[in-house]
Amino acid sequence: MQNINQIYINGQFVTPHGSEEFALFNPTTEATIGRVRLADERDAERAIAAAKAAFPAWSRTTKEARLAVLERMYLAVQAREADLLKAIVTEYGAPASRSQWMATWPAQTIRQAMVTLERFEFVEQAGRARVVMTPLGVAGLITPWNSDAGFICSKLATAMAGGLYRQ
């Protein structure tokens, strides 16, 4: 049985302050396959504080620097495609054809953010006005309870491409 008892805050895996646990079920067999220790409000506050501290530096990164980080993220997610597929089949219960697509989608969304960023101009002329698009702050990324890695990667890559910081 898999037990997930860490969350990612400020560049490291940490044990959540929250103590509530959530059972993971295989929808095909209805067997309990794991437990997840959930984060709480205090954990969210820690993540927000870390993201706010990192935002000034990240928001000033160049397009090239953001693309380099996104490329590393893309390669890391793509390298774990087989692990994603196994998790999707076990935890989501999707048919094989859907599971395969769901396993490739996370890396594809990162690549899509990269393509968009490569073409995106952060400065444009609108009549006589020069419009400069700048990051405004930390982004809170919310996904549905039954979300998959594709939603998370899509939101994360888009926020990173725009110069927003995330936790």
pLDDT in tens, 73-94: 999 999 999 999 998 888 888 8
- For the chain, how many structural domains are there in total? 1
For residue 22, being part of any structural domain is answered with yes
Residue-number span of the structural domain to which 22 is assigned = 2-161
Tokens representing 2 are 């898999």
Handedness of CA 123, 129, 135, 141 (dihedral sign): negative
Strand bridging mode 2-4 / 32-37: parallel
CATH of the domain at 60: 3.40.605.10
Residue 167 has pLDDT above 60, yes or no: no
Answer yes or no: is 97 within a domain: yes
167 lies in a domain?
Answer: no
* Token pair for 16: 């959540």
* Alpha carbon distance 154, 143 (integer Å): 10
For residue 166, is it within any domain?
no
**Model-wide pTM > 0.85:** yes
* Residue at 142 is within a domain: yes
Residue 164's pLDDT band, with cuts at 50, 70 and 90, is confident
Residues 159, 69 contacting (CB under 8 angstroms): no
